[in-house]
Amino acid sequence: MKKKARLLAVVLVGVLLAAGGALLVRSLLRKAPADELVLYGNVDIRQVELAFNGNERVESVMAQEGDRIKKGQLLATLDTLRLSHQVSQSESQVRARKEILAALEAGTRPEDIRKARADVEAVKAQQKNAEVVYHRKSMLVEKDLISRQERDDAKTAADSSLAQLKAAEEALALAVAGPRKEDIAAARETLRAYEAALAVAKRNLEYAYLYAPSDGVVQTRILEPGDMASSQTPVFTLALTDPVWVRAYVPEPDMGKIRPGMSAEVTTDSYPGKRYKAWIGFISPTAEFTPKAVETREVRTSLVYQVRVYACNPGNELRLGMPATVIIPLNQPATGKTSKEGRCKDH
Residue 160 lies in a domain: yes
Please answer whether residues 172 and 116 qualify as being in contact, where contact means their C-beta atoms are separated by less than 8 angstroms: yes
Residue 183 lies in a domain: yes
Average pLDDT over residues 22-40: 58
Co-location of 153 and 70 in the same domain: no
Co-location of 94 and 198 in the same domain: yes
Residue 295 lies in a domain: no
What integer pLDDT is reported at residue 235 of this predicted model? Answer: 95
Co-location of 123 and 69 in the same domain: no
What integer pLDDT is reported at residue 30 of this predicted model? Answer: 43
Q: Which residue has the higher pLDDT, 111 or 337?
A: 111
The set of residues, in sequence order, having a beta carbon less than 8 Å from that of 9 and lying 6+ positions away, is: none
pLDDT tens digits, one per residue of 97-115:
999 998 888 887 888 788 8
Domain count, the chain: 2
Residue 98 lies in a domain: yes
| pTM for the model | 0.62
Co-location of 176 and 91 in the same domain: yes
The set of residues, in sequence order, having a beta carbon less than 8 Å from that of 121 and lying 6+ positions away, is: none
Domain that holds residue 228: 48-81+210-236
Please answer whether residues 191 and 97 qualify as being in contact, where contact means their C-beta atoms are separated by less than 8 angstroms: yes
Please answer whether residues 60 and 225 qualify as being in contact, where contact means their C-beta atoms are separated by less than 8 angstroms: yes
Highest mean pLDDT among 40-49, 57-66, 127-136: 57-66
Average pLDDT over residues 215-221: 90
- Torsion angle of alpha carbons 281, 283, 284, 287, nearest 10°? 150
Q: Which residue has the higher pLDDT, 120 or 90?
A: 90
pLDDT at 160 over 70: yes
Co-location of 77 and 215 in the same domain: yes
Highest mean pLDDT among 14-23, 30-39, 159-168, 201-210: 201-210
Co-location of 231 and 130 in the same domain: no
Quickly list H helices, the chain. Answer: 2-29, 81-106, 110-142, 148-177, 181-206
Q: Which residue has the higher pLDDT, 288 or 241?
A: 241
Share of the chain above pLDDT 90, in %: 35
How far apart are alpha carbons 223 and 233 in whole angstroms?
8
pLDDT tens digits, one per residue of 170-205:
887 777 777 888 888 999 999 999 999 999 999 999
Co-location of 165 and 194 in the same domain: yes
Task: Name the band, by pLDDT with cuts 50, 70 and 90, for residue 343.
Answer: low
Q: In this predicted structure, which of 21-25, 112-116, 217-221, 308-312 has the lowest mean pLDDT?
A: 21-25
pLDDT at 229 over 80: yes
Mean pLDDT of the chain: 81
pLDDT at 221 over 70: yes
Highest mean pLDDT among 17-26, 39-48, 332-341: 39-48
What integer pLDDT is reported at residue 134 of this predicted model? Answer: 75
What integer pLDDT is reported at residue 79 of this predicted model? Answer: 95
What integer pLDDT is reported at residue 190 of this predicted model? Answer: 95
Residue 7 lies in a domain: no
Average pLDDT over residues 206-211: 95
Which of 66, 93, 76 minimizes the C-alpha distance to 217? 66
Average pLDDT over residues 290-310: 65
What integer pLDDT is reported at residue 6 of this predicted model? Answer: 54
Co-location of 192 and 161 in the same domain: yes
Residue 178 lies in a domain: yes
Residue 175 lies in a domain: yes
Co-location of 77 and 162 in the same domain: no
CA atoms within 13 A on the CB side of 239: 19
What integer pLDDT is reported at residue 56 of this predicted model? Answer: 93
Q: In this predicted structure, which of 135-144, 164-173, 283-292 has the lowest mean pLDDT?
A: 283-292
Q: In this predicted structure, which of 6-15, 57-66, 173-182 has the lowest mean pLDDT?
A: 6-15
Residue 224 lies in a domain: yes
CATH number of the domain that 54 lies in?
2.40.50.100
Co-location of 54 and 143 in the same domain: no
Co-location of 75 and 102 in the same domain: no
Co-location of 219 and 185 in the same domain: no
Average pLDDT over residues 162-170: 83
